[in-house]
Structure 1
């Protein structure tokens, strides 16, 4: 069938112009939406099921967005398996801080701890999975009627949430410009040390690397700061990058939500949409090796990394990352590599950061 015949068949299948306006408008809107979903699924390589779920979540912000990507199999993960341990730690240490004879302005922190306490009490009352799901539905209803901005509806940290200014991307705002400039200036040194440890990995030396659990493909990291703890052996192998990390005051050392690592995402990989554990941090990506076909999406907005450039975002917003498969017959592409670094949220005061180091220490 030629192009003319295809067009004729398509036009013949269109609604009769004599139909009422409203049914014609609805039918046209549905067809347009399906076409857009198909194109987005093909370009992003998320798959139609994941694309529809993401679209519904963005369209109806109140819908629960928790999915398999919200949890991993790492027993030390602060966002998943250590959730209750960290919750207990924070709730246990907060009364001790309040008993100190200090006149500190920690109202925002106290509100966050109260929310966490309510979450803990609610979870303790549930006896089975059905009751737990009902509690989540009630929580979502409360969020819908609270006076939040539309953009904040995409922000759902899984563990600890403070009332802080919320933006998915922070690169266009005047925050941490000095730190990002230092990273850009030291890009050649950081890249050289990344290539050194990655070459060792390719030669069979897996020491220091961690494999993250994702929906499709492979994602591994080489941590220098692992949930607030300096990785001494890895830092010794990357002395210049480690020294730069420790020279940055906003780096989240001594806090369980703080990480810094070389992050490698291989071709044909998908990191499912998920939320970070807390909004007290911003995540910075310094592009190291950025092949074609990989991208990051935060709160429905896509962004592509650039080698030698920094991308600053809030990972407590719904976010996902993808790397397209290598075309058939083409040489295998290298992984997408970035230097990932967590920084304190810029609106936190020095006293709040000191208190958070105590409440959320890695010990």
Structure 2
């Protein structure tokens, strides 16, 4: 063995001996400065892992850094941190506290100033690699957990929609036939007794009931309406809907104003867009009924670059921020008798038309915006 190799070996053994002699002092000092969650039952594992890391430092200085050993320890600790739901920032802080203490100890050893830099570099490289692999593993495990939760949530929604589809089929079968008969007889009455009062109101109410039934079925079968796309003039469609809703508007004492560009026309599934506008307007009427007069709903339709924007605003109560985040999710509703499917259906229909919906709300105004491309 050359004198240089012997000197390197002697220096390494010297630093290892120094670290072994001061191990208890190091670990006690490190544990005193740890950031720990007092309610965490795995704090003993944190201390145990500190001991394992200390041994890895000695092994790295005595031999060389084993990347497999570093990865194995990093992955072990990452899994424990995820299981304990420990903040990754606290973990990195605790690791770097250990790094600083070890380097301070090494600087007070008997190594010469010529040998110290290489030892400190090895320690820093080890801790850098360990932090990298630990944080990477922690992130991968967390992302995997999140993906599994999303899959579970999506599957749960699908299961609910499947159940709703079965309910809808039964519901429609039981109600649509007698409803069709009633609508037919009402039309006969209009022919035989054209001056009979209230037939118009009965027809409108029956049409609304038919719409609600169709909406329920449409929730579980998004492609129910097989009519082809057609050129739809937004103003004409909204005017027809407002006429349809006139009894509800009058009954609720709502002032409706409209500013709709009559030239705007898009290619769309007319019946589906009608369902969206009806849903949003029904919701607006329900909302303004919760406040004292004046009750106001405003409609706007205008072009913006390559988009058509339809706004439905009302001066009802503000939608809380936490509710606004989930308002387009299925089965979420704030109504006592609500199904939580209306806005979910609207969102899917608009996305089917390559558009999107948003909602803004404050104490003075709540606005639903429907964005549709000009060339659908």
TM bracket, shorter-chain basis:
under 0.3
Q: So what's the TM-score if we normalise by structure 2?
A: 0.24
Higher relative contact order (CA 8 A, sep 6+): 1
Structure showing greater radius of gyration is 2
Higher fraction of strand:
1
